[in-house]
Amino acid sequence: MRHQVISYLSHWLHEVNSHSLQSPFIYNLYTKFIQKDFNKGQFNAIEKTRLKLLNENFLVAPANYGATSLVHPNVHKTKASTIAKKGLTAAKVSRLLARLIAFNDSKNIVELGTAFGLNALYMAQAENTNVVTFEGSKDIANVALTNFEYHAKNNIKLILGNIDKTLPVFLDARISVDFAYIDANHRYEPTIRYFEAIIKRMHKDSIVVLDDIYWSKEMTQAWEEIKAHPEVTHSIDLFSVGVVFFKPDLVKTHYRLMF
């Protein structure tokens, strides 16, 4: 928590808005798709599911691998409402994911860390998209699958199991990835490994979003290394998430922006 507080204060002191942006690409992206919350009223049905989860008392067991969770710090079963209150991505961030997908017209989307499936539902709104989401906990995956069925989303595929094993098998199919959201094992080494694996299937117009970049010192270390990656040209730090781009015609630049 100390790392998160210090990181937040640092971000608050150094973040800028559109007036400081010189890159036409970033200015357009920031003013029209990040700063402008134009899709706020489009996801009422999904948000009703969030409210339902916030009051569910059935128990679910977390996966047995990954970094120790702030939501369920042991392997014992935890109330779904507890996980929802502490672990679900804020609706503001979920809407951002949907807007970035619209900005990039992404078709093939990969999510590492399904949770209860709300972000997958946000990212699968366009019928011409295909979302493949990876989850380690069978109990949590079952809740997500129920939510996908309830919302009649047939363009989401959930892959259950240890991502360390399931992701390489999936990527071996050499599918092109337009958009990736990484919110799984919150440790340095797996995060870097997942990123390195996914970008082999990405192209110059692809986008990667990393969640919880200030969750721990390890996650911040991973974010710093990803920003410096030779294939990353532009990176945006919104504190809640980090966003990276691979456009070879752009001069490598990092932005810390208000969100």
- Residue 110 inside a domain? The answer is yes
- Residue 73 inside a domain? The answer is no
Rounded to whole angstroms, how far apart are CA atoms 2 and 153? 40
- Residue 127 inside a domain? The answer is yes
Range of the domain at 173: 2-44+89-256
- Residue 216 inside a domain? The answer is yes
CATH of the domain at 242: 3.40.50.150
- Residue 74 inside a domain? The answer is no
Taking alpha carbons only, the member of 150, 119, 114, 148 closest to residue 133 is 114
- Residue 94 inside a domain? The answer is yes
H or E element that contains 218: helix 217-227
- Residue 7 inside a domain? The answer is yes
Q: How many Cα atoms occupy the beta-carbon half-sphere of 194 within 13 Å?
A: 30
pLDDT per position as a tens digit, 201-242: 999 999 999 999 999 999 999 999 999 999 999 999 999 999
Q: How many domains does the chain have?
A: 1
pLDDT per position as a tens digit, 88-113: 999 999 999 999 999 999 999 999 99
- Residue 20 inside a domain? The answer is yes
Q: Which pTM was predicted? A: 0.92
Beginning with the edge strand found earlier in the chain, give each strand of the sheet holding 108-112 in spatial order: 156-160, 130-135, 108-112, 177-182, 202-211, 241-245, 234-237, 253-256
